Amino acid sequence: MPNALDPDLRHALAERLRYYKELGIYDFYRRDKVNAAQATAQSEEAAIAGDVETESSLTPQPELREEMPPRRSAVAAVIPEESMFEMLTPKPEQGVADRVAALKLIRADLGDCTRCKLHKQGRKQIVFGVGNPRAELMFVGEGPGADEDAQGEPFVGRAGQLLNNMIRAMGLSREDVYIANVVKCRPPGNRTPERDECDTCSPFLMRQIGVIKPKVVVALGAVAAKNLLAINAPMAELRGRFYDFVPAGVRSSDTSSQAEPWQGAKLAVTYHPAFLLRDPRQKGEAWKDLQMVMKYLGLKPPEKTE
């Protein structure tokens, strides 16, 4: 029979789990004790190696301003013999069949978010997401701009107008798709969201994707791509292919039933509309990315009218 947890340790674990729940993180995984020491050693070696910067790692990436540093590997601490899964609270939207209602539960869980520093850096409101909750196609950007912050809806400024044109060129309307961002609050001066801000906010995005169950997710720009895929690579390497994508922290039991099995989405990467406004020469490349998505979804561009 497993030993009972020390009361102080139990309290500390409960507080830590409550903290993670406030961040929107609900799923934890237990690793075998046999491999824990080896994994910890590997993690320490990786951390030491990660602290050594090479000349190539310091070379700036000219293509996009939102190049982000790679994530370091993390090894979970060994869980005591007594399982703490009983202490975990299910996601509010888990088991809710109505996707509109499920998204409202996620929005309510997000609340008037103060989890990262963006809430005290000039944001007017949280920009959650908009569109068809049953969309087959979902677009994910990096964060709201000034117009989005003012109106409470993603992609409503100049970049949003270009995105609308891109969607129409695919034979769809804005109402047919779902649009969201990695972070829900406007970074001051429209700067690139920082790593801790993305890590704090992205679990809510993952839950949105898990509710909508799209067939394809299109990451708009490097920030969205690297947060969704958890890899660091230039746009030239990220584009031009599909990735098998399942939202982090979302289990198949959360998102599927006998009536609606969902094993994840295909993820494609293209340029952010704001980047295309700065460099219109890349619009043709972005159109190639969208054509790849159209072929997968069986979409045809609208017929030209004279």
Q: Where are the domains of the chain?
A: 7-87, 99-297
Rg of the chain over all Cα atoms, to the nearest angstrom: 21
β-strand 178-181 against 137-141: which pairing, if any?
Answer: parallel
Q: Is residue 293 scored above 60 in pLDDT? A: yes
- Contact residues for 63 (Cβ-Cβ < 8 A; gap 6+): 234, 235, 236
Q: Is residue 26 scored above 50 in pLDDT? A: yes
For 267, the 3-state DSSP assignment is strand
Q: Compute how many other C-beta atoms are within 10 angstroms of the C-beta atom of residue 201.
A: 25
Using pLDDT thresholds of 50, 70 and 90, give the confidence band for residue 297: very high
Closest CA to 193 of 204, 205, 202: 202
Q: Is residue 24 scored above 50 in pLDDT? A: yes
Q: pLDDT exceeding 70 applies to what percent of the chain?
A: 68
Q: What is the pLDDT of residue 28?
A: 56
Torsion of CA 23, 27, 32, 37, to 10 degrees: -20
Q: What is the pLDDT of residue 65?
A: 42
CA of 135: how far to CAs of 170, 179, 210, 285, 294, in Å?
Answer: 14, 10, 12, 24, 14
Q: What is the pLDDT of residue 4?
A: 60
For 130, the 3-state DSSP assignment is strand
Q: What is the C-alpha to C-alpha distance for residues 133 and 288, in angstroms, rounded to an integer?
A: 26
Q: Is residue 5 scored above 70 in pLDDT? A: no
Condensed to tens digits (0 to 9), the pLDDT of residues 205-250 reads 999 999 999 999 999 999 999 999 999 999 999 999 999 999 988 7
What letter does residue 224 receive in the DSSP assignment?
H
CA of 264: how far to CAs of 214, 231, 246, in Å?
Answer: 8, 18, 5
- Contact residues for 289 (Cβ-Cβ < 8 A; gap 6+): 218, 239, 240, 268, 269, 270, 271
| Residue predicted with more confidence, 27 or 278 | 278
Q: What is the pLDDT of residue 249?
A: 80
Q: What is the pLDDT of residue 60?
A: 39
Condensed to tens digits (0 to 9), the pLDDT of residues 123-149 reads 999 999 999 999 999 999 999 999 999
Q: Hey, what are 297's tokens?
A: 């979804």
CATH homologous superfamily for the domain 99-297: Uracil-DNA glycosylase-like domain (3.40.470.10)
Condensed to tens digits (0 to 9), the pLDDT of residues 157-198 reads 999 999 999 999 999 999 999 999 999 999 999 999 999 999
Condensed to tens digits (0 to 9), the pLDDT of residues 58-68 reads 333 343 444 44
Using pLDDT thresholds of 50, 70 and 90, give the confidence band for residue 9: confident
Q: Is residue 296 scored above 70 in pLDDT? A: yes
Condensed to tens digits (0 to 9), the pLDDT of residues 91-127 reads 899 889 999 999 999 999 999 999 999 999 999 999 9
Residue 295, H or E segment: helix 283-297
52 CA to centre of own chain? 28
